Amino acid sequence: MRSRFGVCLRALAVACGGTLAAASHAGSSLRSENHVFYSGTVGYNWATQAWDEDGSRYDTDCRSQYEQFSNYAEWGKSYYHTLYGQLGLARSVCGGDDETGVTDLKAGLRGRINRYLNDRAWELEVTIPTRKGGPGASSVSCGAAELAANVERQHDDVLPWLSVNYGASLRLAESPLEHSLRGKLGASGALAPRWRWRVAVEQAVPLTDHDDSAADLSLPDCGTDASSTRGGGEVKFQWVKNVTLGCGATMTFLGEDTRAYRGIYCGYSKLWE
């Protein structure tokens, strides 16, 4: 029973990861055949400061705000493969710039690294932008296509109250975005019956040279040449069987050429068996 709950929550963590650690949607577990998982998340992110290319923090000209309603879904295509995707609505504001629209579409295929286990997986993921030309100072789209290869591993019950997950993501981006490598480390566990906690940190490292593009101070989810260390935590509650509610907060701790975003979000998830 506990394990099933854990799997369900792990899936929510993946979904909420869209906000918590927006660049990596990787999950370590696959859905059972024909099971459908949905997560809806409402988030609010803001930044009034940024780091320059030397890592010095400064006040930005405008307060950046990014409000997002994210929809993430997974479908168990077979025992061996799970399909997933994400699409949402967002509003991005900075000074006089104000854009509302559909976010970039992400779609991916997840498969098993070990055919018997459900705690490690690979993913191939594509991001289809809703506009071209790269991200602006205030936009809801990254403005370029991306292809990502992810791997993720989960260790359940490292301690009775602790599970650990970690993963890596190689992201190949269409110009003007940069290729990047991302790694993440997370932990989760039980708080009380039906309650769980989760924390995660994510490090993004650009793989190509810095070129001072306008994309640098764009959305945290875009593959710019910025480097950043982000983290966050969330608490989740199993409302009824297969339905979970959760809220969390995120923060960018360190960076170069990136905004110091902070965010809060709440999410709902449901699994159809």
Partner 1 sequence: MARALGLLLALAAGAAGGAATAEIPVDALALEMRPIDADVLFKKYAYDKSSFAVTVVEPDGTRLPGRIEVKGKSSRLVPKKGPLIKLDKPLKWRGTNARISMNALATDATMMREWLSWDLIHTLGMVAPEVRYTFLTINGQDQGLFLRIEWLGPALFKRHGHEDGELYDPDDNESCGDLSIDMLPRLGECWARLFPDPDLSHLAELTRAIDAEPVETFDRFMARAFDVDSVVNWIAVTVLVENLTTYNNEYWPYFSKTTGKWLVVPWDYDRTFGKNADPWQPFPAYVFNDNFQYYYPLELGASNALRDKMFKNAALNRRIRDRIREIVDGTPDAAHPWRGWFAPETMHARIDRLHAFLKPQRARDPFLVGLEENFEQEVAALRHFVDARVAYLRRIVLADSYGGLPDEGSAPLPAAGSTVHVTDAGGLMMARVTPRASVRGAVQARVRRGIPELVPPGIDRQACVQRSWLISAPRDLEADVRVEYLQEYKRTTEVGPKVGDERGLTLYGRDDKGWWRLPTVGNTLANILSARVRFPGPEPLLLVACAGAAAPVLAAR
Min dist. Cβ of residue 35 to partner 1 (A): 7
User: Whose Cβ is closer to partner 1: residue 69's or residue 79's?
Assistant: 79
The site map against partner 1 for 51-90 (x = CB under 8 A) is -------------------------x-xx-----------
Min dist. Cβ of residue 54 to partner 1 (A): 47
DSSP output for 127-194: EE-SSSS---SS-SS--S-EEEEEEEEEEEEEETTEEEEEEEEEEEE-TTS--EEEEEEEEEEEEETT
Amino acid at 268: Y
Q: What does the block give as tokens for 56?
A: 């010095």
Closest CA to 258 of 232, 231, 219: 219
Instruction: Please work out the total of residues on this chain that contact partner 1, with binding judged by CB under 8 A.
Output: 18
- Give CA–CA dist 119/131, Å, rounded: 36
Residues 6+ apart with CB under 8 A from 198: 9, 13, 186, 187, 188, 233, 234, 235, 236, 248
User: Whose Cβ is closer to partner 1: residue 117's or residue 164's?
Assistant: 117
Among 3, 54, 159, 209, binds partner 1 (CB under 8 A): 3
Amino acid at 41: T
Min dist. Cβ of residue 110 to partner 1 (A): 14
The residues in 32-51 that bind partner 1, with binding defined as CB under 8 A, are: 32-33, 35
**241 part of the interface to partner 1, by CB under 8 A:** yes
Among 1, 54, 159, 212, binds partner 1 (CB under 8 A): 1
User: Whose Cβ is closer to partner 1: residue 44's or residue 237's?
Assistant: 237
Min dist. Cβ of residue 210 to partner 1 (A): 44
Answer whether 65's CB lies under 8 Å from 108's CB.
no
Signed CA dihedral, 156, 162, 163, 167: sign only: negative
The residues in 110-129 that bind partner 1, with binding defined as CB under 8 A, are: 115-118
User: Whose Cβ is closer to partner 1: residue 3's or residue 56's?
Assistant: 3
User: Whose Cβ is closer to partner 1: residue 102's or residue 158's?
Assistant: 158
- Give CA–CA dist 78/32, Å, rounded: 7
User: Whose Cβ is closer to partner 1: residue 1's or residue 192's?
Assistant: 1
List residues near partner 1 by CB under 8 A: 1, 3-4, 7, 30, 32-33, 35, 76, 78-79, 115-118, 240-241, 273
